A and B are shown apart, each in its own frame.
Chain A
C-alpha cells in the first residue's frame, strides 16, 4: 500500500520568513495530493491540493509543488504569520483512501 513520509517533524520560523515542508510517497499510481492544517482540538482542514497532471499550484501565500518522477511534493508558505502555527499533514491518494504523513508542527515566532 501507499506509504507517505513527511519532513521535518517540527519547524520553527520567524514571522515573515518562509516555511517548507516536504513529503515523499511510494505508490506511483497516486494522483491526488492534499495538504491539511490541524489546530489543537480540531479536525484537519484542507488548505491546498494538487493533482498529478499539475506540477505546481499557488493560492495566495501557499503553494504546492509536485515531482511525479521523484515521487515527492512540497508545501511552501511565504510571509508566515503567527496564525499559521499548527500541525500540517500531507496525504496521497490513488483510489479510495488518503494516506497521511506523520505531520509537521509549525511554530511561527512573532
Chain B
C-alpha cells in the first residue's frame, strides 16, 4: 500500500485480556515507531525499531507492553492483562531513518471495558 496501515482500526476488549495491534509500514522504511495518544493529548512515544531490533524501548510504560518486528517490516504491539487505563489510540509511524519525515497510520482505537 501507499501508506502506513494499522489493523484493526478499532478494538474493544475486556479488562485482563491480551491484545495484539498490527502495523504495516511503508515499503522500504527501516525505522518504525509506536506511539500512544490519549484524548486531547499529543502522541506519547513507546518504542522505536531500526530494522528488526528495538533500538529504543524506553517509552514502554511497563512489562505488560511488548513489541516485535521479526522481519524488519510488519510490527506487532502486544499488551498483556489489559487495564482500563490502556484505552487510547495507538499510532504507528515509519520513516527512512531517524530524524527524517515520519508517516503515521490512522491508528488503532483500543477500548478496555
Contacts and interface: CB of A to CB of B under 8 A. Distances in A.
The A contact surface, by secondary structure, is strand
Contacts, number: 64
A91 B104 CA distance: 14
B45 interface: yes
Interface residues of B, number: 28
Contact of B45 (A41, A44, A99): A99
A1 B40 CA distance: 22
Contact residues on A (Cβ < 8 Å of other chain), bracket: 20 to 34
A99 B43 CA distance: 8
A98 B45 contact: yes
Interface of A: 1, 4, 6, 31-32, 34, 36, 41-46, 49, 51, 89, 91, 93, 95-103
Given A49-B101, A98-B45, 7 more contacts: A43-B104, A45-B104, A51-B99, A89-B42, A98-B43, A100-B42, A103-B42
